[in-house]
Amino acid sequence: MKIAFLCGNLEPGRDGVGDYARRLAGEMVRQGHACALVGLNDLHVSETQAGSQETDGISIPVLRLPGGKPWSERTAEAREWLDDFNPVWISFQFVPFGSFKSCSDCAHDKLQKVHSGSRDDIVRRCDCLVMRYAGASRERARY
């Protein structure tokens, strides 16, 4: 299964949620899944960076979007990159009050711009949102 993990920041050792998402993706890859990471508000880059990061010897494709770039540009770049990766699931890894200065519903509204599916595609779990990616076919979604 293809899974994309979205979080705020992917600077290794500088963001607990980003470090957690990287390790989670690494373990999922180790178990046979394809994973990718997107940093939607990375304060440690000044320009968009697409590449890879390693965790425990596993290389994971990453997209790091600078926090200084307008949200509309970041979401457009994230959507294009995600369309190329074509995940079955997107998992939003964030701390609601750390990433967005409002409730998780408001965070959902901002993050919905990255995802073209309906509001019904979203499963809320504690401090993360998980949604079925709009580009994934029903046949591939064995979860």
* 48-104 pLDDT, tens digit each: 999 999 998 999 999 999 999 998 899 899 999 999 999 988 888 877 655 444 444
Helices (H), the chain: 16-30, 71-85, 96-99, 104-111
Chain mean position to CA 64: 10
Of 24, 27, 22, nearest to 11 (Cα)? Answer: 22
pLDDT for position 97: 52
pLDDT for position 49: 95
46 Cβ contact partners less than 8 Å away, ≥ 6 residues apart: 66, 68
**SS3 call for 95:** coil
Give the Cα separation of 37 and 59 in Å (integer): 11
Chain mean position to CA 41: 11
Across the chain, mean pLDDT equals 77
Phi and psi torsions of 51, nearest 5°: -175, -140
Element (H, E) at 124: strand 122-125
Q: Which residues pair with 61 in a beta bridge?
A: 52
Element (H, E) at 132: strand 128-132
pTM of the model: 0.73
